[in-house]
Homo-oligomer: A and B are copies of this chain.
């Protein structure tokens, strides 16, 4: 089978040997939703996978924002609680190409909690399958970080925290972010200082402004400002989610290696134990579980 994780800014395709789970080939590009108009999806998908498909006999499963209203075709989000079987039972055929299936996202719509997710639900189910368990808390850092709770094979709750996107907005579009416009290497001391400011008097919007006052008067160098801001925001994310989930002691941290590094420091500082899983492996395991159920229908 072919597994495609197709998000707002990235396209990642994997040719997988279903029997062994091995990845036989893979392709990546920056042709996410932002780069394509709606009519281009089938053509782009075919151009990237035709030589893998044996005339269309190899099925394709798509996960991520590709299933949103502004993607290839909408796969309506399922309301929690949701199992991997529910996702399999609600895959939607992608128009324009044969044997191409879109995995739906999930949502929570309650007066006190409204939230949406597309793609990370597959990774959360995959991470738990890889660990041989059906319950646990998952942290999926990113543009919009997701914290998902699974219990006995069902996703029962999740919360989105817009850490990555806010980091970008602050760095490139505010005065405190000005010294960090240029890329600098990760500075662990500045990152840890940022973490230590989360939850202090004045809250996160004051802590972000400290990037400016500490740059002016407390020795925070221009090259450290980006890491400080990142520490403030990731520190606030972890602080808020720890407060929201009393008793949380272990999370499965699902992400690319670069993001896992900073989240590992922040989670560790908060006394939360981590079981780290690469996001590609989680995607592949999650789609494999869904595809196996879908194939049996």
Contacts and interface: CB of A to CB of B under 8 A. Distances in A.
Interface of A: 8, 107, 109, 112-116, 144, 159-163, 165-166, 168-170, 172-176, 200-206, 208-210, 212-214, 216-218, 233, 236-237, 239-241, 243-244
A137 B113 CA distance: 34
A161 B204 CA distance: 8
Given A114-B210, A170-B169, A203 B202 contact: no
A176 to B, nearest CB: 7
A267 to B, nearest CB: 16
Contacts of A115: 209-210, 213
Given A114-B214, A115-B209, A161-B209, 19 more contacts: A112-B200, A113-B201, A114-B210, A114-B218, A115-B210, A116-B212, A116-B216, A159-B202, A161-B202, A161-B203, A161-B205, A165-B174, A165-B175, A172-B173, A203-B239, A203-B243, A203-B244, A204-B236, A205-B233
A138 to B, nearest CB: 15
18 contacts: A115-B210, A116-B213, A159-B201, A159-B202, A160-B202, A161-B206, A162-B205, A162-B209, A166-B170, A168-B173, A169-B169, A169-B170, A201-B240, A202-B241, A203-B237, A203-B240, A203-B244, A205-B240
A149 to B, nearest CB: 12
The 9 A-B pairs with the shortest beta carbon distances in the complex, nearest first, are: A203-B240, A201-B244, A169-B169, A114-B213, A169-B173, A162-B209, A159-B202, A161-B205, A160-B209
Work out how many copies of this chain go into the complex.
Answer: 2
Contacts of A169: 166, 169-170, 173-174
Decide if the interface of chain A is mainly helix, strand, loop or mixed. helix
Contacts of A159: 201-202, 206
Contacts of A236: 203-205
